[in-house]
Chains A and B, each alone.
Chain A
């Protein structure tokens, strides 16, 4: 079937290069369109399946949130959050971070302790080396919640290599961890970063408490012109001093 077609095409192209171009374009486009249609259907189906699967697994671990708030015994909570299947670890962490996002105090600490004991710290440190940006990003965010100093060095190392978006995620995580060791690289980044990002970075640095306050004051002094408006600079200076006072 291909042979007669090929001959017909060659006959049509005879002496008319523009026709050849058009036919070539047709064939290329046809396959492109086919691929896109398939991709579209596949994308939708895959998302749906993945979402449904993850939902069905997450439901198994969500009761743990209730247990934490009901002050159930720690061991019971830990066992409720232990991943039951390969691949569940990621889902458990999603459930946990979703709860931790809105909590502080004893429940937060409980989740944190469980996460550390279930080995999630190790998992996330491993995930930092992943080629998949999403895995790295989620890992960075979760390391921020885990507040472990062990994550500081890998995160700082990652900061240098990553694109802007991921760099900010890493910085946010470092700010959440709050280990003063992260301050010098953050300040170094803030000194180089273009002005538009400075207010964000300085407010992250302020989260470090008193040493952060020092760093911000230094930053403002070293880059006074770089802060977008004088109002921002003064506001930050005021915030830094307020935090010092409180």
Chain B
């Protein structure tokens, strides 16, 4: 019996160590790649010429798609801000996804909507569209009123009516940077390869001073949960996504902000309904389409530049719902594209990104938690390899620190950093304590997400919006 336990002990040790080293080694490599990308991007930003691009007639126009469901409180301010971006040619397409509150009425009043001749093509199927409205005041605003069908469905309806070569899908509650479109288009226009999708950094709006729907002061929230998420977001976006983007292996562009080639997206069938991870699903399908067509001469990029600000969950309950949903969505997408696993036909996505996500982000949580459970059991039984455990935990901690600090350092190199030194110190402090509870907590949430997926349960979830914008409306 004892021999068996020793064997198991050794085996688990080996598996854990290997898992751990590959995971963190991978992240460290990504961080290094990310450093290079951020550096290159910084260079581009400094000599930007953004204004030139934004005002040139050769710059492609963009259709901004805003799916809205029960956003009566803040929709007017949001749309108004979208109509005043620093970009020359674009249109705003608001899709009222069967709201049961006064969203449509609010829009009609504020923007002087009148019915318009529907001119959308029906290439993508969606829930029935009741009517299409145009604004008397703003020549570039369209509102589509349709039956409820969910975000993907709304976006597909929007795609049917959009008329510019590129579209930008955003969440109705994000605050867009005024020059976000400029920066994104610069990435599209000044690259030698065909860019089919671009994403950017989503920053945490909690704690920032917002006036008239614009961020006028960047500041850190006082809520611990939020600060942990700030550190997480920096790490995930700046190390993770920037890194993956460096070798064209980016598999996800946040639904909060993403710009894509319209024709291509319609060609692959638009957004997939019935999945919670529609953003990642679209990007993966775009990769699949390009690769299956035999070309690797394209890019899906990530800009290490803040493009929008969003409110993150500040209570545990909402955070749990969010993480469960994300994990479920991830697994759904991974399952739908399982043919990519280690398939050289899909290039970097198939050989590196997909396996990485599959093993570490998707199912790796299980291994992680088995690891914790194992250590715990061994400790209880007193047969724990004391010093190994300690050393291992040390390395785990230090690795986590290194990665979080990389995220923060890269964050310091990008615009709109936290100006107060105190906020920087707070971030560092939280980065160092992240592994002492927060990370374990989110892993548990993700485990529940895995069971959700396996059992086919779990809800869509929607965040109660404290209403960053609502506060301003009343102020």
Contacts from A to B (Cβ < 8 Å): 12, 16, 18-19, 22-23, 25-26, 29-30, 32-33, 36-37, 39-40, 43-44, 48, 133-134, 137, 140-141, 164-166, 168-169, 172, 193-197, 199-200, 202-203, 229, 232, 235-236, 239
Contact = CB atoms under 8 A, between A and B. Distances in A.
Contact of A26 (B56, B194, B195, B394): B394
A202 B57 CA distance: 12
Nearest to A40: B409
Contacts of B47: 137, 140-141, 165, 168-169, 172
A236 B409 contact: no
Q: Which 3 A-B pairs have the closest CB atoms?
A: A194-B192, A29-B398, A199-B58
A115 to B, nearest CB: 19
Given A194-B192, A229-B165, 14 more contacts: A18-B388, A19-B391, A25-B21, A25-B398, A26-B394, A36-B409, A37-B405, A40-B424, A134-B46, A137-B43, A196-B190, A200-B189, A202-B58, A232-B58
Interface string B289-331: 0000000000000000000000000000000000000000000
A39 B412 CA distance: 11
Overall SS of chain A's interface: helix
A50 B112 CA distance: 50
Nearest to B58: A199
B412 A44 contact: yes
Contact of A43 (B388, B399, B402, B412): B412
Contacts of B405: 33, 36-37, 40
Contacts of B402: 29, 32-33, 36
Contacts, number: 110
B193 A196 contact: yes
Contact of A199 (B189, B401, B428): B189
A169 to B, nearest CB: 5
B78 interface: no
A196 B191 contact: yes
9 contacts: A16-B388, A18-B388, A43-B409, A48-B421, A172-B49, A172-B52, A195-B192, A196-B195, A199-B189
Contacts of B13: 18
Interface of B: 13-14, 17, 21, 40, 43-44, 46-47, 49, 52-53, 56-58, 165, 188-195, 387-388, 391-392, 394-395, 398-399, 401-402, 405-406, 408-409, 412, 421, 424, 428
B189 A196 contact: yes
Most buried by A among B47, B56, B405, B412: B47
Contacts of A236: 58
B387 A12 contact: yes
Most buried by A among B58, B189, B399, B405: B58
Contacts of B56: 199-200, 203
A70 to B, nearest CB: 27
A23 B195 CA distance: 44
Contact of A235 (B40, B58, B424): B58
Contacts of B21: 25
A197 B395 contact: no
Contacts of A202: 58
Nearest to B56: A203
A235 B191 CA distance: 20
Nearest to B392: A22
Contact of A164 (B52, B192, B394): B192
Contacts of B408: 40
Contacts of B392: 22
Nearest to B189: A200
A235 B47 CA distance: 26
B184 to A, nearest CB: 14
B43 A165 contact: yes
B399 A29 contact: yes
A19 to B, nearest CB: 6
A134 B39 CA distance: 11
